[in-house]
Amino acid sequence: MQSFIELSKIFADKFSIKHFPDEPDTLYSPAQYILQLGGKRIRPACVLMGNELFGEINPDSFYVATAIELFHNFSLIHDDIMDKAPLRRGMQTVHTRYGESTAILAGDVMLVQAYEYLNKMNPEHLQSILSLFNKTAKEVCEGQQLDMDFETKATVFLSEYIKMISLKTSVLLASSLQMGAVMGGAGIGSQEHLYNFGKNLGVAFQVQDDYLDAFGNPEKFGKQIGGDILANKKTFLMIHVFEKASKNQLTELNQLIKNNPTDKIEKVLQIFRDCKVDEWAKSLKEHYLQKALHHLDEIAVVSSRKSSLFELAEYLIQRES
């Protein structure tokens, strides 16, 4: 049994090769570029952990893990175009550096390359892995579309937001774990519990991310506090405050969103606090974390095999001390 950190390091070493041909360089350099920006390789490590939960690592799991990481980077390239994001990990995004057309194509060819890695597998698990991969890929596209739709929607309900965020981010974590379980020969019941562990953990992580953007310690968080508030982003907190606020608070919120005054962050945070949005978000995060851990408990393997998954949960979710 290897730890999450060990597995992500083992994967990162294997992954740091050239994944594309030399020519045309104008297409493949941009594709290789984003892979060299690094990243925590959480999802491919999930494939390996999901496998190891049920047995020795099947060498083909590295193909699956590589496909997952390429898929993730494909989605980052295309999402960055849609979001007009200038930077990723402090470096220029692919479209900023190479132009939008090349970024579209570099993403496309990365998705194809992901499938080519899957096709290197022994045929035994190919169809079930492809099926899971395709389902998840479509869901990630759906999540991104819903996220864009929400930008122009007046009211977004919490249930809609949870669905969107699950599709956009959690299902890839969940299905990475499940694919590992498939490779490890797990039964369908265990696969589903592991999937739901990942899915709920992903939602808990997103609640935390939204919380930290508003209430985090700027030094620890590493981003500007209140960025979501400034950008009028619909987040767990913003959606909840619209459900909780009094008539006066609603009027004030709408004014702040419309007029973008210089003290906007401070004033919105005050309304968040008055409506106890901070407390609510902490308990919502805890709720999803507990759901995740419950599914992990339900998997019928000895607890010692689950240590890397507990470690993953601890790594992703900060507990209040």
Residue whose C-alpha is closest to residue 189's, from 300, 288, 283: 300
Q: Does 131 bind its own copies (CB under 8 A)?
A: yes
Q: Does 222 bind its own copies (CB under 8 A)?
A: no
Q: Does 298 bind its own copies (CB under 8 A)?
A: no
Q: Does 130 bind its own copies (CB under 8 A)?
A: yes
* Contact string (CB under 8 A) for its own copies, positions 26-45, x = contact: xx------------------
Smallest distance, its own copies to C-beta of residue 202, A: 19
Smallest distance, its own copies to C-beta of residue 122, A: 10
Footprint (CB under 8 A) of its own copies, residues 143-182: 144-146, 148-149
Q: Does 119 bind its own copies (CB under 8 A)?
A: yes
Among 138, 223, 273, 294, binds its own copies (CB under 8 A): 138
Q: Does 231 bind its own copies (CB under 8 A)?
A: no
Q: Does 51 bind its own copies (CB under 8 A)?
A: no
Q: Does 270 bind its own copies (CB under 8 A)?
A: no
Q: How far is CA 28 from the centre of its chain?
A: 25
Q: Does 101 bind its own copies (CB under 8 A)?
A: yes
Using the contact rule CB under 8 A, the part of the chain among 42-50, 98-106, 186-194, 253-261 near its own copies is 98-106
Smallest distance, its own copies to C-beta of residue 238, A: 21
Smallest distance, its own copies to C-beta of residue 232, A: 18
**Angle CA(99)–CA(105)–CA(110) in degrees, nearest 5?**
120
Residue located via tokens 């249930």? 159
Using the contact rule CB under 8 A, the part of the chain among 2-10, 97-105, 213-221, 236-244 near its own copies is 97-105
Which residues of this chain interact with its own copies, rule CB under 8 A?
Answer: 24, 26-27, 78, 81-82, 100-102, 104-105, 107-109, 111-113, 115-116, 119, 123, 126-127, 130-131, 134, 137-138, 141-142, 144-146, 148-149
